[in-house]
């Protein structure tokens, strides 16, 4: 096995990272989760700093990225709840990341999301990039397009800089143009991704000016 480890994904939570790790393991690729504890506590800050990261051997990195990308775009199912340990498992995965049980063997259910909107003060109301007030629920999933934009921006820091950041910005503004409002978590991640892209672009411009003299 190649001793060099390469980052292949940056996740929004420990559970998401473990789900992807289990998926890659089923495909014959060993992956490692790094930074899960800190990012689980404050996931939206930890993720922007590369908190919950997934690494594989350098030889498996490209295949892992392709599998992750294919998996994200090939499923429209909802997350499912493991009846064995009550852990929520990301849609499309057939094995629980927490207890390792197969989905078909233990039976599953869909996590219940509360319909009650969490009250907040007027000054603390957050608005989505579409201009609509964001509704906070007890368990709000991350918008797939925003998640894909965030991952592209993080991968772009080490692989294909600027190109992936431009792609990430395209996804952000495409999502902002849609009428459906974002959840509070998705809205927060939208702005974090925007900040990462702007920062990366600024660094690129500064380096270009320095090297051109």
Better-scored residue on pLDDT, 45 or 131: 131
Tell me the pLDDT band of 98, cut-offs 50, 70 and 90: low
Task: Give the model's pLDDT for residue 199.
Answer: 87
Q: Around Cβ 140, how many Cβ atoms within 10 Å?
A: 18
**The pLDDT of residue 123 is above 80:** no
Task: Give the model's pLDDT for residue 176.
Answer: 84
Pairing state of beta strands 31-34 and 88-89?
Answer: unpaired
pLDDT digits over 23-76, tens only? 888 889 998 888 654 433 333 444 444 457 888 998 999 998 988 887 765 545
The CATH number fitting domain 1-74, selected from 1.25.40, 3.40.50, 3.30.9, 3.30.70? 3.30.70
Query: Which tokens is 198 given?
Result: 């702007």
What is the average pLDDT across 91-119?
60
Task: Give the model's pLDDT for residue 93.
Answer: 66
Task: Give the model's pLDDT for residue 103.
Answer: 67
pLDDT digits over 169-207, tens only? 988 888 888 888 888 888 889 999 999 889 888 888 888
Residue ranges covered by each domain of the chain: 1-74, 76-112, 117-213
**The pLDDT of residue 132 is above 60:** no
For the chain, percent of residues with pLDDT exceeding 90:
3
Is residue 119 packed enough to be buried (19+ CB in 10 Å), middle (13-18) or exposed (0-12)? exposed
DSSP notation for 83-120: TTT--EE-TT-SB-TTT--BHHHH-EEPPP---SPPP-
Average of per-residue pLDDT values in the chain: 72
What is the average pLDDT across 71-94?
66
């Amino acid at each position: 096995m190649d001793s060099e480890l390469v980052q292949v994904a940056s996740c929004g939570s420990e559970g998401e990272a473990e789900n992807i790790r289990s998926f890659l393991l089923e495909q014959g690729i060993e992956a490692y989760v790094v930074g899960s504890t800190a990012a689980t506590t404050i996931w939206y800050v930890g993720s922007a700093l590369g908190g919950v990261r997934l690494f594989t051997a350098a030889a498996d990195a490209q295949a892992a990225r392709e599998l992750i990308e294919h998996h994200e775009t090939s499923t429209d199912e909802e997350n499912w709840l493991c009846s064995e340990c009550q852990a929520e498992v990301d849609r499309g995965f057939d094995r629980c990341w927490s207890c390792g049980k197969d989905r078909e063997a233990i039976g599953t259910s869909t996590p219940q999301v509360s319909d009650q909107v969490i009250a907040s003060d007027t000054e603390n109301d957050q608005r989505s990039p579409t201009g609509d007030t964001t509704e906070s629920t007890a368990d709000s999933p991350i918008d797939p397009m925003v998640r894909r934009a965030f991952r592209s921006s993080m991968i772009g820091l080490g692989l294909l800089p600027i190109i992936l950041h431009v792609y990430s910005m395209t996804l952000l503004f495409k999502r902002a143009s849609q009428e459906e409002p974002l959840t509070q978590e998705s809205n927060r991640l939208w702005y974090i991704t925007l900040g990462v892209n702007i920062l990366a672009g600024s660094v690129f411009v500064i380096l270009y000016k320095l090297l051109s003299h």
